[in-house]
Structure 1
């Protein structure tokens, strides 16, 4: 298995929380998710929090592609948004794999 490094900020911060781990394995997408983090916070809706998390992930991917591939950031963000919306509306393949929920 090829694992990614844990960011230094997450290692330094004793209160850091891992929210998502994603693998492509056995020709499917598999995820381990931390859902329920906000169950004690009625002012924060879980689905909105995940929307923000996924948007932040998209921004990090865009930054990485700008740095590593020299791509235009605005073009990358628009392409990610378009692919995201297309995939939600009409999945390109059957969703295989699964997830594990950690409370």
Structure 2
């Protein structure tokens, strides 16, 4: 199993909350999500996830610029195009169940 490191800010912050973990395992994507936190606090859950995912795309773009020299705007455009294509015509089904565990 190959895990990523926990970011230093999350290690320092006792209030840090892991929102998303994504794994490629057994030839597919497996995710753990913390859904409901924003809704429970009177915010629009879908909109908040959109912001989180947009921020994640920016982090991917910045990392690819640093690692491979690809410009961040080009990477963002390519990721958004791929995202929209995948939402329109999925290459595989999203399956599984949602556990309402608290952590």
Q: TM-score, length-normalised on structure 1?
A: 0.89
Report 1 or 2 for greater relative contact order, CA contacts < 8 Å, sequence distance ≥ 6.
1
Q: 1:20 to 1:32 in 2, by over 3 A?
A: same
Unmatched 5+ stretches in structure 2: none
2:86 corresponding residue in structure 1: 87
Residue 74 of structure 1 corresponds to: 73
Equivalent positions of 1:1-103 (< 5 A) are 1-42=1-42, 44-95=43-94, 100-103=99-102
CA contact (8 A) 1:21 1:31 kept: yes
**CA distance 1:100–1:79, change in 2 (3 Å):** farther
Q: Give the conservation status (yes or no) of the 8 Å contact 1:28–1:95.
A: no
**Counterpart secondary structure, 1:21:** strand
1:23-65 C-alpha deviation (Å, 9 max, x unpaired): 00001100011111123322x1111111111111111000000
> CA–CA distance in 1 between the matches of 2:33 and 2:18?
8
Provide the C-alpha distance between the structure 2 equivalents of 1:68 and 1:18, rounded to a whole number of angstroms.
Answer: 25
- Return 5+ residue gaps in structure 1 as ranges: none
Deviation of 1:72 after TM superposition, in Å, equals 1.1
